[in-house]
Amino acid sequence: MMKGWFVITCRQAHALLSRRADGALPLMDRLRLRLHLTVCDWCTRVSRQFQFISDAVRRLGR
């Protein structure tokens, strides 16, 4: 693994997860995030939770 190039922290991964929900990620960020998610259960969990929050918010008011 090319450290420092592909490896990101959970903090950075969280930011990319959110960014991904608001528009397409650049290729490198997509790769970094995908790699991080394959090794990080916590961020994978948060990824699903962000998606869930988005689905849930759309139900408010109806």
Partner 1 sequence: MNTADTLRQTVGELQPTLLRIARLQLRNDAWAEDAVSETLISALEGVDRFEGQSQLKTWVVGILKHKIIDQFRRSGREVSIEAQAEAAEAETFDEIFTQDGHRQHEPLDWGDPESTLSRTQFLEILQICVDELPATLGRVFMMREWLELETAQICKELKITSTNCFVMLHRARLRLRECLELRWFAGKKMA
Q: Name the residue among 46, 56, 53, 37 with its Cα closest to residue 29.
A: 37
Whole-number Å distance between alpha carbons of 46 and 62: 26
Site string for partner 1, 23-42 (x = CB under 8 A): x------------------x
Among 1, 3, 22, 38, binds partner 1 (CB under 8 A): 22
Q: Name the residue among 54, 21, 20, 16 with its Cα closest to residue 36.
A: 16
Among 19, 29, 35, 37, binds partner 1 (CB under 8 A): 19
Binding site for partner 1 (CB under 8 A): 9-12, 14-15, 18-19, 21-23, 42, 45-46, 48-50, 52-62
